[in-house]
Amino acid sequence: MGHIIGVLGFLKVCTRWVLRMLSDEMKAERVCISRELLECFEKGGEDFLKKIITGDETWVHRYDPENERQSMEYHHKESPQPKKFKTQASAGKVMLTVFWNSERVLADLLEKETTLNSRYIETYCIKKKN
């Protein structure tokens, strides 16, 4: 089978994974923003770089494991030792946010119904700075 595929001129190739497909408009916007940032760096130098805050967010599962006292049970002395498995269902998901700049890293778990926007970032960074 492989020989026939080679004779026909076919090759087995893998697709390349990319984060997302960008339109020509999106690519042009990125070039424009990059040029603006380069101009700002040329004017401000290192001080400009110190003002840049980068961030990311992800969903994380939250677990509330029982402590030893909470898991105690009454058993007859001849009954087998109870078994406790390490895997358990998640108690829920929370949004973990991480922001960093040239000086520090800030991480926070977003409360329910909190929107991650520029106002939150500004408040969060100022709140944690003081």
pLDDT tens readout for residues 19-33: 778 899 999 999 999
| pLDDT tens per residue across span 46-70 | 899 888 888 888 888 776 666 667 6
Q: Where are the domains of the chain?
A: 20-52, 53-67+87-130
Local confidence band at 40 (pLDDT 50, 70, 90 cut-offs): very high
Distance, in Å, from the CA atom of 94 to the CA atom of 109, rounded to the nearest integer, reads 6
Stronger pLDDT, 127 or 104, i.e. the higher one: 104
Mean pLDDT taken over the chain: 79
Q: Is the pLDDT of residue 127 over 70?
A: no
Stronger pLDDT, 52 or 114, i.e. the higher one: 52
Residue 63 near residue 94, CB atoms below 8 Å: no
To the question of pTM greater than 0.75 for the whole model, the response is no
Nearest Cα to 72, choosing from 87, 85, 84, 90?
84
Distance, in Å, from the CA atom of 30 to the CA atom of 11, rounded to the nearest integer, reads 35
Residue 92 near residue 112, CB atoms below 8 Å: no
- What are the start-end ranges of the H helices in the chain? 2-7, 24-44, 46-50, 118-129
